[in-house]
Amino acid sequence: MFVKNQKYNLPDKDGFFGEFGGMFVPENFKPVLRRLDDEFEKAIADENFLKEVYDLLKEYSGRPTPLYFAKRLTDHYGKGKIYLKREDLNHTGAHKINNVIGQCLLAKRMGAKKVIAETGAGQHGVATATAAALLNLECEIFMGETDMFRQRSNVDRMRMLGAKVNPVTQGTKTLADACDAAIEYWLNHADEVFYVLGSAVGPHPYPKIVRFFQSIIGAEAKQQILEKEGRLPDYVLACIGGGSNAIGAFTAFIEDESVKLIGAEAAGEGADTDHTAASLTKGKKTYLHGMYQYVLVDDEGNPRESYSISAGLDYPGCGPEHCYLRDTGRAQYYPITDVEAIEAFERLSRLEGIIPAIESSHAVAYLEYLMPKTNKDDIVIVNISGRGDKDSERILEILTQRKLWIKSK
């Protein structure tokens, strides 16, 4: 159920998707990444390895996840049909487990005893801690102090699973800083640890590795929609920060040109404000975290702080394949504000009894723009990348405050 051997043959041998991507790391570290690339390619050519990965995803994580027809949400718009790919029903509550199971089994295959990871919303950290416990690996997680506060329940889960959680106190104390800290630790301990990178970012071969293990999302959805509707969807929609759930949803459909691919990125207080994470809308081409990509920059061209209510989308750049898909026009990316995401969080909860992660709510929010343009026969798949119990307390508080403010007016 993983996607490989497509005519769409990217990245190239040097890790580039067009001009984006690459391996921009110190020369003495390139052999580590080349060995990882070699071992990954050997692993995915080994049917026994792929069976081991899929068996765990099936028996332990609960795949395949359902493709659910959202009747009340569909009726709400009165236009095309809306299906939800329920990645929130995975063990640990998000899509992150797909990639983590694969990478942790690869780590064991390569002889590693310890894994490290960065995390923003905590979903990748929880998934890594979970797989490490299952596979008897030592685990250390780097998480921004700000995110530790706003995602306290996930911090508790990581610790319960036996992981050491390191607060990152520099910068904005969010996901980008957690990435910096994890990469720095990895550079100094590469002989001892395996870095389980959570998104489709970083130096080659990580974007390719993450895409492969997450491609199960779109592969399943494609088979499921053909069974349910007898044809491909017209649209596939996903939220995007670094881009792992979106590239997972998109990959199986990239060669199907009739299927429109749409990413909803975090605009924060607005794409035209300084408080945004909309790198594909407002970013410039530059280098960050070992790759060439679109990045939010200041007046001097240096990466600047990003902002989003969503810790998982609060990243100043974006995966190189999404940058390529944007520039070639194969996918379109649109900014969604905090307010729009919060409203979508409530809408899906009230209409379908599904509480989405605030990250996923950005994708749900884009339906407000998309659905009026659809016809009755159109089919839309929305990837619900995670569940929202981690966000519920905070979002309910914000909604209550907003309603009190509106009432006072």
Task: Tell me if 318 sits within 8 A of 294, measured CB to CB.
Answer: yes
Catalytic residue among 87, 118, 321, 352: 118
Catalytic residue among 199, 215, 306, 385: 385
- 392 classed as catalytic: no
Structure tokens at 98: 């797909």
Over the range 136-148, which residues count as b (16 or more CB within 10 Å of their CB) and which as e?
ebebbbbbbbbbb
- Tokens 């750049």 sit on residue: 317
Yes or no: say if 228 and 38 are a contact pair by the CB < 8 Å rule: no
222: annotated active-site residue: no
Helix (H) / strand (E) containing 167? strand 164-168
Q: How would you classify the pairing of strands 114-119 and 138-144?
A: parallel
Helices (H), 116-193: 123-135, 145-150, 152-160, 175-188
CA-closest candidate to residue 97, choices 70, 132, 138 = 132
Of 86, 60, 143, 38, which Cα lies nearest the Cα of 363? 86
Distance, CA of 49 to CA of 51 (rounded, Å): 5
Structure tokens at 343: 């409203």
What are the start-end ranges of the H helices in 163-314?
A: 175-188, 206-214, 216-229, 244-250, 279-282
397 in catalytic set: no
The span from the CA of 36 to the CA of 278, in Å, is: 31
CA–chain centroid gap for 50, Å, is 22
Catalytic pick from 81, 85, 96, 208? 96
Residues designated catalytic: 96, 118, 385
